[in-house]
Amino acid sequence: MDAIFTLSELPALMPYLIEEGKTADTWVFEAPMGAGKTTLIHALATYCGVQQTVSSPTYALVNEYTTAEDKTIYHMDWYRLKDEEEAVNAGIEELVNSYWCWIEWPEKAIGILPDDVFIIRIVVVNETTRRIVTELSHHSFIPSYL
């Protein structure tokens, strides 16, 4: 997918993202601070029928949601992780390899990511407009800025 959108257009993209990423359990969201990663995840969760409050798990590292189809989603924010060792010690590696995970700041612990990931890159076009570029990767995740 390669789409340019405003916030009001975001809900219309959800069916396409879900369809495109359906073969990967791990979704990684790559974007600069303030680009809208959590906003996009909130829209995805709403589309999937999540009733819980969706917020950034920056301090908790992981939030757990349940979809309308009783599927568990782990929403992770790795911004505060020091390194992969900290992620492993926190038990995050087990979650990533066992459940549907949506991960913000995946570059903090690349080594624990599975080979099959759905990459969602958010590019800031201007103050009100974003661009989403997606890729289904069957190789390890490499941030676009490397």
Which pairs with CB-CB distance under 8 Å and at least 24 residues apart come from 84-87?
A: 84/108, 84/109, 84/110, 84/111, 84/112, 87/112
Residue-level pLDDT at 50 = 96
The mean pLDDT value of the chain amounts to: 91
CA distances from 69 to 51, 53, 103 (A): 12, 17, 21
Residue-level pLDDT at 62 = 93
pLDDT one-digit tens code per residue, 6-54: 999 999 999 999 999 999 999 999 999 999 999 999 999 999 999 999 9
pLDDT one-digit tens code per residue, 92-125: 998 997 789 999 999 999 999 998 999 999 999 9
Backbone angles phi, psi at 29, to 5 degrees: -115, 115
d(CA 136, CA 67): 22
Contact indicator for 108, 87 with CB cutoff of 8 Å: yes
| pTM of the full structure | 0.91
Residue-level pLDDT at 146 = 43
pLDDT one-digit tens code per residue, 130-139: 999 999 987 7
pLDDT one-digit tens code per residue, 46-90: 999 999 999 888 778 899 999 999 999 999 999 999 999 999 999
- Largest Cα–Cα distance in the chain? 40
d(CA 98, CA 81): 20
